Homo-oligomer: A and B are copies of this chain.
Amino acid sequence: MSTLIFGHKNPDTDTITAAITLAEFEKQDGNTDVEAVALGTPNAETKFALDFFKLNPLRVVKTVANETEHVDLVDHNEAQQSVDDRADVTIDKVIDHHRVANFQTEAPLYMRVEPLGSANSVIYKMFKEKGYTISPLIASLMASGLISDTLLLKSPTTTDQDRAMFADLQKIADVDLKDYGMKMLKAGTNLAARSDQDIIDGDAKSFTMGGKTVRIDQVNTVDLNDIYDRQDAIVAAMQAEKDAEGYDLFVVIATDIMNSNSTAFALGEKDKLEDAFGKKFDANDRLDLPGVVSRKKQVVPVLTDSFEK
Contacts and interface: CB of A to CB of B under 8 A. Distances in A.
Interface of A: 97-115, 129, 296-297, 300-301, 304-305
Interface of A: prevailing SS = loop
B106 A301 contact: yes
Contacts of A106: 99, 300-301, 304-305
A99 B108 CA distance: 4
Contact of A129 (B104, B129, B301): B129
Nearest to A303: B106
Contact of A101 (B98, B104, B113, B115): B104
Given A99-B104, A104-B99, A129-B129, A111 B109 contact: no
CB-CB nearest 9 A-B residue pairs = A101-B104, A111-B113, A108-B115, A106-B301, A107-B301, A106-B304, A99-B105, A129-B129, A110-B114
A97 B108 contact: yes
Given A102-B104, A108-B113, A111-B111, 14 more contacts: A97-B108, A98-B108, A100-B100, A103-B103, A103-B104, A107-B300, A108-B115, A108-B297, A109-B115, A110-B114, A111-B113, A111-B114, A112-B112, A112-B113
Contacts of A113: 108-112
B108 A111 contact: no
A105 B115 CA distance: 12
